[in-house]
């Protein structure tokens, strides 16, 4: 496969590992912000190849994981309304709410459909004019523009039975919260590839300049990630903190301006609650008043639910990089992918799921 | 957080395209793509949308860095031709 195979080359990977070992002379903690990176790192057994001085910790970049229980409860409450079809990406289905999950509600008769793209939900609404469809909008800046595009289309064609419950989040406030936290000291960021495709590198320039933390935007194949780690370790060795783009085939410094302007036309930023972080100012996206007919928040009366995090679950600390899955007393015991207690075990991009499936993978 | 797959565009019809990877073809949408795509281009696909046209030159540059560092033989084939 073009643009994939060449970044899985074993010889290059081995040489990069050697380069990392040669350049690493101190204890270094690197955070991979993005859940897709977490999975790629563990699936390919990369931690086993690195010097023991390097610790990789996972960040808040799994959208399903940072969606707080209260929002899951609200989505479940919507699924109880007569005549509604809930359309959602698959991961969200199994995330436990305070008392139940969308999957359990579906087995009890709620009409919950899995879609691959926001357009699938649009067509679902078109094909079911007598029903009302609510799409659960979850995701960061990579996903939000795609939902914005569909909302614009809905307004254009005058589709009346489609709305979005926006739980979208934007990444920069969470990054800034991490670098100002006294609880975790991060020496370098493996920055998310596809969020950066949209937002460019502006926020990382601030992190590098104001907090002296090197940032490298990384692709998702093993060679991409190893090269990123090499660049970070070398910057740290030289005492530098600058922004580099390793994933140049997909990321430019300015990002995707069209996607951003579409997102900004439909959504406005709002304060938002994150699992693990609590309320972060200006970190969420809600629909602008111009798009009120598409806003499930305005359209439906969602009854308040008294939400509670699952007892014993440390997903919140894991999402902030303070703890790792093996630190959790539930991990691999009460909490497994078949019976997840916390969101990080549910999502295919969740840190706990990645550790569960792949940790201990050795390259032979 | 945001899975994105490189796929090659096979057919374009307005804002909708067919794109393929490893023999799997998908209907994808071009609404948020910031440059005009043509048949044969590779794009990164996320949640059914092309979010970026892969820059062939930049991809070659990254591989050239490996080459310059002696990681790759200069004449190594870097993939299928589009």
- What pLDDT, in 10s, does the model give residues A147-201? 999 999 999 999 999 999 999 999 999 999 999 999 889 999 999 999 999 999 9
Residue B75 confidence (pLDDT): 37
Q: Give B40-81 pLDDT, tens digit per residue.
A: 999 999 999 999 999 888 777 777 766 666 555 443 343 333
Determine the pLDDT at residue B69.
62
User: B5-68 maps to which CATH number?
Assistant: 2.30.30.140
Asked if residue A20 has pLDDT above 50, the reply is yes
d(CA A319, CA A71): 17
Q: Which domain holds residue A337?
A: 324-358
The verdict on residue A351 lying in a domain is yes
CB contact under 8 A, A3 and B55: no
Q: Mean of the pLDDT values across residues A60-76?
A: 94
Question: Chain A 239-278, CB below 8 Å of chain B: which residues?
Answer: 246, 248-251, 256-259, 262
Domain count, chain A: 1
Instruction: Give pLDDT, residue A6.
Output: 85
pLDDT digits (tens, 9 = 90+) for A339-356: 999 999 998 889 999 999
- Residue B77 is predicted with a pLDDT of 40
Are A42 and A354 within 8 A, CB to CB?
Answer: yes
Asked if the structure places residue A228 within a domain, the reply is: no
Do A218 and A225 touch, CB atoms closer than 8 A?
Answer: yes
Q: What ipTM was estimated for this complex?
A: 0.93
A195 to B2: CB separation less than 8 angstroms, yes or no: yes
Q: Which residues share a beta bridge with B28?
A: B17
Q: Tell me whether residue A223 is in a domain.
A: no
How confident is residue A215, by pLDDT bands cut at 50, 70 and 90?
A: very high
Average pLDDT, chain A: 94
In a domain, A98, yes or no: no
Q: Where are the domains of chain B?
A: 5-68
Q: Is residue A279 part of a domain?
A: no
Q: Nearest C-alpha of chain A: how many angstroms from B38?
A: 17
In a domain, A134, yes or no: no
The CA distances from residue A178 to A58, A238, A242, in Å, are 12, 23, 18
pLDDT score recorded for residue B23: 84
* Phi–psi pair at A109, nearest 5 degrees: 120, -10
Q: Is residue A210 part of a domain?
A: no
């Amino acid at each position: 496969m073009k643009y994939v195979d060449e970044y899985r080359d074993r010889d290059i990977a081995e040489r990069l590992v050697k380069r990392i070992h040669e350049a690493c002379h101190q204890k270094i903690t690197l955070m991979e912000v993005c859940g897709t990176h977490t999975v790629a790192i563990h699936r390919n057994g990369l931690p086993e190849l690195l010097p023991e001085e390097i610790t990789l910790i996972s960040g808040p970049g799994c959208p399903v994981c940072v969606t707080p229980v209260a929002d899951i409860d609200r989505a479940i409450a919507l699924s109880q309304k007569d005549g509604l079809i809930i359309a959602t990406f698959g991961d969200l289905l199994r995330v436990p709410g305070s008392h139940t999950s969308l999957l359990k509600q579906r087995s009890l008769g709620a009409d919950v459909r899995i879609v691959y793209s926001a357009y699938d939900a649009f067509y679902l609404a078109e094909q079911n004019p007598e029903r009302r469809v609510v799409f659960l909008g979850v995701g960061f800046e990579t996903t939000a523009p795609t939902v914005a595009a569909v909302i614009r289309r809905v307004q254009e064609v005058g589709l009346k039975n489609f709305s979005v419950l926006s739980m979208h989040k934007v990444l920069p406030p969470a990054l800034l919260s991490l670098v100002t936290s006294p609880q975790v000291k991060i020496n370098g960021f493996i920055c998310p590839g596809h969020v950066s495709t949209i937002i460019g590198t502006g926020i990382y320039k601030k992190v590098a300049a104001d907090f002296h933390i090197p940032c490298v935007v990384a692709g998702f194949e093993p060679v991409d990630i190893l090269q990123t780690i090499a660049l970070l370790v070398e910057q740290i060795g030289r005492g530098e903190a600058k922004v580099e783009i390793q994933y140049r085939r997909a990321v430019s410094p300015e990002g995707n301006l069209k996607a951003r302007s579409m997102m900004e036309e439909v959504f406005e930023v709002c304060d938002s609650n994150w699992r693990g972080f609590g309320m972060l100012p200006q970190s969420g996206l809600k629909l602008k008043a111009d798009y009120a007919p598409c806003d499930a928040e305005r359209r439906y009366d969602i009854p308040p639910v008294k939400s509670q995090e699952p007892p014993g679950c440390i997903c919140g600390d894991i999402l902030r990089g303070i703890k790792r899955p093996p630190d959790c007393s539930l991990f691999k015991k009460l909490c497994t992918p078949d019976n997840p207690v916390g969101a990080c075990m549910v999502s295919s991009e969740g840190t706990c799921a990645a550790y569960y499936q792949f940790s201990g993978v050795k390259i032979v | 957080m945001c899975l994105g797959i490189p796929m090659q565009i096979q057919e374009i019809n307005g804002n909708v395209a067919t794109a393929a990877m490893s023999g799997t073809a998908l209907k994808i949408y071009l609404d948020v793509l910031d440059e005009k795509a043509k048949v044969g281009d590779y794009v990164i696909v996320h949640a059914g949308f092309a979010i970026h046209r892969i820059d062939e030159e930049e991809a070659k540059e990254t591989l050239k860095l490996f080459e310059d560092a002696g990681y790759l033989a200069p004449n190594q084939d870097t993939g299928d031709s589009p």
